Chain A
Amino acid sequence: AQSVTQLDSQVPVFEEAPVELRCNYSSSVSVYLFWYVQYPNQGLQLLLKYLSGSTLVESINGFEAEFNKSQTSFHLRKPSVHISDTAEYFCAVSDSSGSARQLTFGSGTQLTVLP
């Protein structure tokens, strides 16, 4: 069984400030890790994912996340946020070792970028 914890349900931050959204997971098997984003009135879309290799992964719009196996974390960071980054962000995991294919999601973090 797997679980994902996003401790911060809401994160307000001023425009151009850095931000970190925290994600910790628990799993008895090895996992793949994902961040999905849901913009207002839109569906969930993939932001970035870690499958293997370099533990630092980046998105096309400046976000990055680092897989830390010892701390079972996959925190999402951006050095300078924009108003358009306002959205709900979901961390998720899936089983990389067995037959299960579904995603297990955290409860989400609402990022609000203030002018």
Chain B
Amino acid sequence: GAGVSQTPSNKVTEKGKYVELRCDPISGHTALYWYRQSLGQGPEFLIYFQGTGAADDSGLPNDRFFAVRPEGSVSTLKIQRTERGDSAVYLCASSDRAYGGDTQYFGPGTRLTVL
């Protein structure tokens, strides 16, 4: 079956602009996660959804970052007033339940470059 998909695969923007990154999880998966991976580092947690609600947004670095999942499926990560330090690969993952031992299935990521 189809895996997790993310669009766009690459996004180049200018400092100060607004961007949206989209994640389409595996059909039927109720849990959805966003991570950010900087060069040479492992992924860092941003936010996770259980259904439509954000169950834990403790990883969002500041209020410029926001994510939604209005119908419990597709999710959008929104970044306002982008900064050069936001440049990274943004990863989305989904799992069919939200418990710590469940396997998370990752998408290919969106590489964001802020000039």
With contact pairs A42-B108, A100-B56 given, residues A105 and B43 touching in the complex (Cβ less than 8 Å): yes
Asked whether, in the complex, the Cβ of A101 is within 8 Å of the Cβ of B31, the reply is yes
Contacts of B90 in A (CB 8 A): none
Known: A32-B101, A101-B99. A90 touches B56 (CB 8 A): no
Say yes or no: A45 contacts B106, CB within 8 Å.
yes
Question: In the complex, what residues of A have CB within 8 A of residue B91's CB?
Answer: 43-44
**Chain A stretch 95-115: residues in CB contact (< 8 A) with chain B:** 95-96, 99-108
- Interchain CB contact under 8 A, B56 and A102: yes
A109–B73 CA distance with the chains assembled, in angstroms: 33
| Interface flag for B13 (CB, 8 Å) | no
Size of B's binding interface in residues, CB under 8 A: 30
Q: Which of B52-78 contact A (CB under 8 A)?
A: 55-56, 59
Chain A residues in 8 Å Cβ range of B35? 103
- Who on chain B is nearest to A93 by CB? B100
Contact A44 B56 (CB under 8 A): no
Q: Is the CB of A107 within 8 A of B103?
A: no
Task: Assess whether A43 is in contact with B109, with CB atoms less than 8 Å apart.
Answer: yes
Q: Are B100 and A106 in contact (CB-based, < 8 A)?
A: no
**For residue A33, which residue of chain B has the nearest CB?**
B101
Tell me the bound Cα distance from A97 to B59 in angstroms.
Answer: 19
Interface string of A2-34 (1 = CB under 8 A from B): 001010010000000000000000000001100
**Interchain CB contact under 8 A, A94 and B42:** no
Q: How far, in angstroms, from A107 to B44 measured CA to CA in the complex? A: 10
Within 8 A of A (CB), among B81-104: 91, 93, 98-104
Separation in Å of the B91 CB from the closest CB of chain A?
Answer: 7
Q: Write the residues of chain A forming the contact surface with B, with a CB cutoff of 8 angstroms.
A: 4, 6, 9, 31-32, 36, 42-46, 49, 51, 90, 92, 94-96, 99-108
Residues of B whose CB lies within 8 Å of any CB of A are: 3-4, 31, 33, 35, 40-45, 48, 50, 55-56, 59, 91, 93, 98-109
A-B contact pairs, 9 of them (CB 8 A): A46-B103, A46-B105, A49-B103, A92-B42, A101-B55, A101-B98, A101-B102, A105-B44, A107-B41
Given A99-B55, A103-B33, A106-B42, 18 additional A-B pairs, CB 8 A: A43-B91, A43-B107, A43-B109, A44-B91, A44-B93, A45-B105, A46-B105, A94-B100, A99-B56, A100-B56, A101-B55, A101-B100, A102-B48, A102-B56, A103-B43, A104-B45, A105-B42, A107-B41
